[in-house]
Amino acid sequence: MRVHHGSGAEAVPESGRHATVAAVSTTPTRVFVARLVGLPIFDPQGDQVAKVRDLVVALRTETSQPRVLGMVAEVFGRRRIFVPMTRITAIDSGQVHTTGLLNMRRFEQRSTETLVMGQMLDRTVTIKDSGVTGVVYDVAMEQARNRDWVLSRVAVQEPSKGFRRRGQTHVVEWRDVTGLTRHEPTQGATHLIAALNDMRPADAANMIHDLPPERRTAVVAALDDERLADVLEELPDEDQVEILEHLDSERAADVLEEMSADDAADLIAELNPETAATLLGLMEPDEAEDVRRLMSYDDDTAGAMMTPEPVILSPDATIADALAHVRNPELTPALAALVYVCRQPLETPTGRLLGAAHIQRLLREPPSTLVAAALDESMDPLRPDASMDEVAAHLATYNLVAAPVVDDEGRLLGAITVDDLLDHMLPEGWRDRAPRPGPITGGAR
């Protein structure tokens, strides 16, 4: 395996930054593991086949450098596989290369294996010579003389003191710290949280799904409510329920409020009735009302799948007003594709729906033009009792990524988007299913 060299002296790693490979010509090349997470993995033809998610090592003793067994990689379809280090041919700045022969069997951690990101980051250790205690925020690996990769150095951060935001950092040899090979029940999550916050919610959800139970509990406790809500929306139902049941009721209600109403409704429907009633009672009344309304519709209907908070404007709103609303980064692309013009009130269920305007049309009109002049007159709304097949046929027939849902009086109840539809159309457990066949696999590890 070759590792491309950088120039200049090796810098102390900073948590949360992307992977780079740095070395000086007089020392072995080192790769800081926390920076590898998220890097693309390419086959010999230059096609991306996976992303790095973690590193698997075999811990031995406090003084023996752990051997790096391989990488946990995420292939397309969000499936995690094991890539042995013998299949890694190069680590360039910003990417990893393989032989192209990958075993597509789902990664299952063995009892003798340790995940660097999942189980080693944030572990409390002590530097032997100085007696300084801190937490691990990165680990470096390098090739030994026998060509095996081993963990060679540990980056440790002391607790902050006084008015300092961050404690002093140290990069020391593996053998110079204690505490890395024993079980640490009070392991924190600060630096893993920093790594998770740099990921997309779906990627962060995958990492949390694979954590050991006690580590997952620590991570969930450390995530803020908004980020936890984003992650929960991407997790399988059983993980959602398990995590929510381990939260105290007040926090569980706060997290549900941060979730989109349709996702919150789906999750609450999985809980036992007593817990569901308790959490709905603790939520803000407006948020709880949206969720109750969605839960009142039959499963797999437009009413149950819709989002009750699309972009809604009054007839006197301008194109500039509409574009300002769809710029909201919290909107999904599908929700931002349409704005809905309604009579007062503008909260769902609104006054009568006057029509919807496509963002493409809005971009072609002068900003001072009224949105009402750019409505799509040909778009028929859906009814809340429309079946999943009817919704799919409607979106496909009119080449839409979103559509309004109205009641018998023509009031806007919400909008259904193509991602809402796909979440319900895909088979149960689709996140855990294998992707389409990719690289030819080798034997089992």
Residue 148 and residue 445: Cα distance in Å, rounded?
Answer: 17
Residue 145's pLDDT is 83
Contact 188, 125 (CB under 8 A): no
> What does the alpha-carbon distance between residue 217 and residue 349 come to, in Å, rounded to a whole number?
38
408, containing H or E segment: none
Tell me whether residue 298 is exposed, middle or buried, using C-beta atoms within 10 angstroms of its C-beta: 0 to 12, 13 to 18, 19 or more.
exposed
In tens, the pLDDT along 32-91 reads 988 888 899 999 998 999 999 999 998 877 778 999 999 999 887 678 899 999 899 888
Does the structure show a pLDDT above 50 at 112?
Answer: yes
pLDDT at 56: 93
pLDDT for the residue numbered 24: 31
Q: How far apart are CA 74 and CA 167, in angstroms?
A: 33
All domains of the chain, ordered by start, with CATH? 2-178 (no CATH), 224-296 (1.25.60.10), 305-425 (3.10.580.10)
Task: Say which amino acid occupies 308.
Answer: P
Q: Is the pLDDT of residue 184 over 60?
A: no
Q: Nearest to residue 337, comparing CAs of 358, 318, 353?
A: 358
**pLDDT-derived band at 188, boundaries 50, 70, 90:** low
Distance CA 40, CA 20 (A): 13
Residues 318, 350 contacting (CB under 8 angstroms): no
Give the phi and the psi of residue 206 in degrees, each rounded to 5. -65, -40
Is the per-residue pLDDT at 132 higher than 70? yes
What beta strand segments (E) does 281-423 contain?
311-313, 338-342, 353-358, 402-406, 412-417
pTM of the model: 0.64
What length does the chain have?
445
Region 262-281 average pLDDT? 93
Asked if residue 18 lies in contact with residue 35, where contact means CB atoms within 8 angstroms, the answer is: yes
Residues near 430 by beta carbon (within 8 Å), at least 6 away in sequence:
none
Q: What is the DSSP letter of 321?
A: H
Is residue 430's pLDDT more than 70? no
What are 13-29's pLDDT values in tens digits? 444 333 333 333 333 47
pLDDT higher than threshold 60 for residue 2: no
| Helix orientation angle between 249-258 and 225-232, rounded to the nearest 10 degrees | 70
Query: Where residue 336 falls among pLDDT bands split at 50, 70, 90?
Result: very high
Whether residue 427 has a cis bond before it, omega within 30° of 0:
no
Confidence category of residue 330, pLDDT binned at 50, 70, 90: confident
Convert the pLDDT of each residue in 347-362 to its tens digit: 999 999 999 999 999 9
For the ranges 123-127, 328-332, 422-426, 434-438, the lowest mean pLDDT is seen at: 434-438
3-state secondary structure 152-189: EEEEEECCCCCCCCCCCEEEEEHHHEECCCCCCCCCCC
The pLDDT of residue 1 is 58
399: left (phi over 0), alpha (psi -120 to 50) or beta: left
Q: Residue 299's pLDDT is what? A: 87
Counting Cβ atoms within 10 Å, is residue 41 exposed (0-12), middle (13-18) or buried (19+)? buried
> Is the bond preceding 349 in cis, omega lying within 30 degrees of 0?
yes
Q: How far apart are CA 364 and CA 133, in angstroms?
A: 61
Look at residue 445 and tell me whether its pLDDT is greater than 80.
no
* CA distances (Å), origin 63, targets 66, 154, 175, 176: 9, 12, 4, 8
Section 119-123 average pLDDT: 88
Band of pLDDT at residue 141, cut at 50, 70 and 90: very high
Q: What is the pLDDT of residue 217?
A: 86
Tell me what pLDDT residue 348 has: 93
pLDDT, tens only, 358-406? 999 999 999 999 999 999 978 889 999 999 999 999 999 989 999 999 9
Percentage above 90 pLDDT, the chain: 53
Average per-residue pLDDT for the chain: 85
Residues 266, 377: Cα–Cα separation, whole Å? 33
3-state percent helix, strand, coil for the chain, nearest multiple of 5: 35, 25, 40
Q: Which residue has the higher pLDDT, 181 or 86?
A: 86
pLDDT at residue 25, as a whole number:
34
